[in-house]
Each structure stands twice: as structure tokens, then as C-alpha cells.
Amino acid sequence: MKKLIALSVISLVLTGCVNPGKASVQPEQLKNHRFVLENVNGKAVKTATAQPEISFSALPDISLVNNISVSGAMCNRFNGQGKLSEGELKVKTLAMTRKLCTEPQLNELDQAIGDMLRNGAQVDLTEDQLTLATADKTLMFKRAE
């Protein structure tokens, strides 16, 4: 009887360690890819100038396993070294140019991408669609290779 109880407890503990959720996006899945912004919170992005985009590349120091270089442009260009961990991308050292754009939507996107990357955004990659999401904003991109 004691063995049966002990075996039951061990199996319950091991069952609690299994993660039934989907696998997190890994840096290797994003590296050397460029994505073009298609919509924000479900609304299509239409600009008169260049389409907003984000790109990822490998860092030369392979000891930085989960780190990834992030760059792109909404209205302004941005870049930085980020960390992708458990499905969240954070770029604490994000640099961005500071010009004022004639299109208000692009100015808003500059603010949104800066906040998302600095504070952390959940990342999902399904085939050629990349999603960056926070509690109040979702940006959907399409691979542009």
C-alpha cells in the first residue's frame, strides 16, 4: 500500500512538470529573416512610404545563446541586441533615429515597437507569419524573403 501511494505521488509530481503548451519560438527560427508589417490589432497597415519592417540576425558571439540582433524601421530606423527567452523578446538597448514623420500612423508605430521591444513582447511564428504581442497591442508581420 505504501509503495502504491509513493508511486502515485511521484507520477503526479512528474505530470506537473510537463508543459502542454506550444513550443516557444527559438532565435534560430528568426535569424536571417526579414518581416514586413501587415496589420496592427487586426487593422491593415497602409502607408504612402516604405512598408514598416523588422529583421533578425545572428550575433557574432555564439556564447550568447538566446541573444539576437534586431533591426528595422517603422518611420524611424531601430536596432539593438535582444534576448528571446520562453517566447518573449526583449531589447533593452534599443537605439532609434528620431525624425518626425508626415504619416501619424508611422509615428504611432515607432512608439509601439519601441515600447514592445524594450518592455518585452510575446513572439509567435507560424509558417511565414510573425506576431509580436503585448496586453494592448498586436503587430502581425509576413516574411519578406
Q: What integer pLDDT is reported at residue 77 of this predicted model?
A: 97
Q: What is the pLDDT of residues 84-122, one digit of tens each?
A: 999 999 999 999 999 988 888 999 999 999 999 999 999
Q: What integer pLDDT is reported at residue 60 of this predicted model?
A: 67
Q: What is the pLDDT of residues 8-43, one digit of tens each?
A: 444 444 444 433 345 688 888 999 999 999 999 999
Q: What integer pLDDT is reported at residue 13 of this predicted model?
A: 41
The beta-carbon contacts of 133-141 under 8 Å, at least 24 apart in sequence, are 137/40, 137/41, 137/112, 138/40, 138/41, 138/42, 139/37, 139/39, 139/40, 139/112, 139/113, 140/37, 140/38, 140/39, 140/40, 141/35, 141/36, 141/37, 141/38, 141/53, 141/54
Residue 126, classified by CB atoms within 10 Å of its CB into exposed (0-12), middle (13-18) or buried (19+), is: exposed
Q: What integer pLDDT is reported at residue 28 of this predicted model?
A: 87
Q: What is the pLDDT of residues 40-59, one digit of tens each?
A: 999 999 888 889 999 999 87
Q: What integer pLDDT is reported at residue 18 of this predicted model?
A: 37
Residues 113, 80: Cα–Cα separation, whole Å: 12
Q: What is the pLDDT of residues 66-83, one digit of tens each?
A: 789 999 999 999 999 999
